[in-house]
Amino acid sequence: MRNDDRIDLYEGDITSLDVDVIINAANNSLLGGGGVDGAIHRMAGPELLAECRTLGGCVTGEAKITKGYNLKARYIIHTVGPVWRGGENRESERLKNCYKRCFELIKKNNLKNAAFPAISTGVYGFPKNLAARIAVQETQQALDGNPELEKIIFTCFNPESKKAYEVALSQN
């Protein structure tokens, strides 16, 4: 299938999606927070926090996988995006690494479909258009390298994010 057929945009709450795995935009502690992190922990329930406590945190640009617990998604991949500090602090490289590590875990666990939030573009302040370009480029590369991967869903929680993904997808 062409890559474009394997990428969808979804406007809404990532915790409602019935997919193999949803990606969490976490922080280095992996112990929950606000934004999508807060929503995922609220919906997954306290067992998620209990498992996260065993993981010893996560460095920026890396990713770790847990069960999905009360979510419809079977798994959650927690990744820690960079805080935007103006663009001179390897932020783009670190955000690319988040996607690369997530796709490595998706492949390693033979997962067929996944939903991503707009990592780092909320509290962490990463510019939405640049983040969307990175997300789309890394996803196209992952799809090229993994014919087993059937569907990647970019979840948009606000109109600006949706527009950013639409522009990034149209340019690819």
82: tokens are 């960079």
Q: Applying CB under 6 A, which part among 23-31, 63-71, 96-104, 140-148 lies near ligand APR?
A: 23-31
Q: What angle do CA 40, 135, 61 make, to 5 degrees?
A: 65
Closest CB to ligand APR among residues 44, 119: 119
Binding mask 53-92 for ligand APR (x = CB under 6 A): ----------------------------x-----------
Q: How many CB atoms lie within 10 A of CB 93?
A: 11
Binding mask 107-146 for ligand APR (x = CB under 6 A): ----------xxxxxxxx----------------------
* Sheet arrangement for strand 113-116: 7-11, 151-156, 113-116, 21-25, 75-79, 63-67
Q: How many residues bind ligand APR (CB under 6 A)?
A: 26
